[in-house]
Amino acid sequence: MYYIFALMVESLKFLFPAYCANATPVLAGGGLPIDLGKKFLDGKPVFGKNKTFRGFILGLAVGTLVGLMESFLFHYHLAFGFAISLGALLGDLAGAFLKRRIGIAPGKPLPVVDQIDFVIGALLFAIPLNAPSLELAITSLVITPPIHVLTNFASYKMGLKNTPW
């Protein structure tokens, strides 16, 4: 039981910059959409109006700063926070791209994808600098969905989001 708890804590520590990068656009996003309002080949938005330059840049900056602090505390590579935050944000964009392709409007949920797209991106981008073990990766994918659901609901209740997802 202790091993599982320790693995969960390690996973949270490892992913904390990605969690911060993913959450920042909710608090500080808005502005010009990354896709500039353009449509993809299928006539649907590339990412949608909720994916903005401001949210992406601020998410990357916050995640990078958090990762920099973790680098000093936990002896991660100095670029770890940048890499894992970039991966998280690109993973989130990939999820938005997928949602648009299957006809889900910006801001509407796609269970499972909404909860793990950023984690998959973060884990992939972490590999060159601080490759997570298979156990850590699986733990991250298991613990993130309930955390994501709870934090989104809390953000909704605090008036930071228009929807509870």
Average pLDDT estimate for 128-151 = 95
Return the higher-pLDDT residue of 161 and 101.
101
pLDDT for residue 163: 82
Burial of 82 (0-12, 13-18, 19+ CB in 10 A): buried
Q: Tens digits of per-residue pLDDT, 103-118?
A: 998 888 999 999 999 9
Confidence (pLDDT) at 162: 81
Dist CA 38 CA 20 (whole Å): 28
- The stretch 1-8 carries a mean pLDDT of 93
Contacts of 12 (CB under 8 A, 6+ apart): 19, 143
* Residue 164, pLDDT above cutoff 90: no
pTM: 0.93
Amino acid 80 reads F
**Does the pLDDT value for residue 74 go beyond 90?**
yes
Q: Is the pLDDT of residue 159 over 90?
A: no
What integer is the mean pLDDT of 43-51?
A: 95
CA-based end-to-end distance of the chain: 31
Looking up tokens 């509407």 gives: 108
pLDDT over 90 at 152, yes or no: no
Domain boundaries, the chain: 2-157
Instruction: List Cβ neighbours of 53 (8 Å cut-off, separation of 6 or more).
Output: 31, 32, 33, 34
pLDDT given at position 161: 82
